[in-house]
């Protein structure tokens, strides 16, 4: 059984557990960050030196009393432009589902970790051609959540790795702003 199948089963189990448990906190939010790409040896990007890219998206999270939860999100990476070739651009976007665990350090600070699946589409553009590819990859993330006492807003600072997005790895560092209810 490969890693994607294991993560799919894990995601299903956590989602069914969360669905049957009492939700302690739910939040919806937006995310803004920076994506850095490592094309790898077999990537169709064909260049080892791409710039970083702006990334943005939306997410929804539900956390139970035990700290387990699930996160659904959409994330997009704006143009990665080649530093060696003027007119070569790569973009990626996709849908993420990740079981997560949040550990409270205090009433206002928590650490979180997540592992899930990222269904992506990547597109490439040159002066003469445009092509797309798609697939499903593993994603891992960790960070810190700040929960101000007098507000329904949450702040999250985190890093996430998307493995094998068209044979390339993407590392993302970002800040999230959410509203919890």
Own/partner long-range contacts of 123-132 (Cβ < 8 Å, ≥24 apart): 123/90, 123/91, 123/92, 124/44, 124/45, 124/88, 124/89, 124/90, 124/91, 125/87, 125/88, 125/89, 125/90, 125/91, 126/87, 126/88, 126/89, 127/87, 131/44
- Euclidean distance between CA atoms 64 and 133, whole angstroms: 36
| Domain containing residue 41: CATH number | 2.40.160.20
> Three-class SS of residue 67?
coil
The dihedrals phi and psi of 154, each to the nearest 5 degrees, come to -125, 150
**pLDDT tens readout for residues 8-64:** 565 555 555 555 556 678 889 999 999 888 766 554 454 455 567 899 999 999 888
- Domain with 38, as residue range(s), is 3-180
Q: pTM for this one?
A: 0.80
Give pLDDT, residue 89. 78
Give the Cα-Cα-Cα angle 140, 141, 144 (nearest 5 degrees): 165
Residue 126, both tokens: 């040159």
Percent of the chain with pLDDT strictly greater than 90: 46
- Structural domains of the chain, count: 1
Paired strand residues for 55: 33, 77
Across the range 84-112, mean pLDDT stands at 87
Whether 98 and 118 have beta carbons less than 8 Å apart is answered as no
């Amino acid at each position: 059984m490969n890693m994607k199948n294991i993560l799919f089963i894990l995601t299903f189990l956590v989602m069914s557990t969360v669905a049957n448990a009492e939700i302690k906190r739910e939040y919806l939010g937006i995310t803004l960050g920076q994506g850095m790409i490592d094309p790898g040896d077999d990537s169709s990007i064909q260049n080892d030196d791409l710039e970083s890219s702006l990334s943005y998206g939306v997410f929804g999270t539900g956390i139970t009393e035990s700290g387990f939860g699930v996160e659904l999100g959409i994330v997009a990476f704006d143009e990665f432009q080649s530093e060696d070739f003027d007119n070569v651009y790569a973009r990626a976007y996709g849908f993420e589902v990740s079981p997560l665990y949040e550990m409270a350090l205090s009433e206002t600070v928590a650490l979180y970790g997540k592992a899930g699946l990222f269904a992506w589409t990547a597109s490439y553009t040159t002066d003469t051609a445009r092509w797309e590819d798609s697939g499903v990859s593993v994603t891992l993330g960790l960070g810190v959540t700040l929960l101000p006492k007098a507000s329904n807003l949450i702040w999250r600072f985190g890093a996430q790795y998307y493995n094998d997005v068209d044979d390339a790895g993407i590392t993302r560092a970002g800040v999230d702003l959410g509203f919890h209810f």
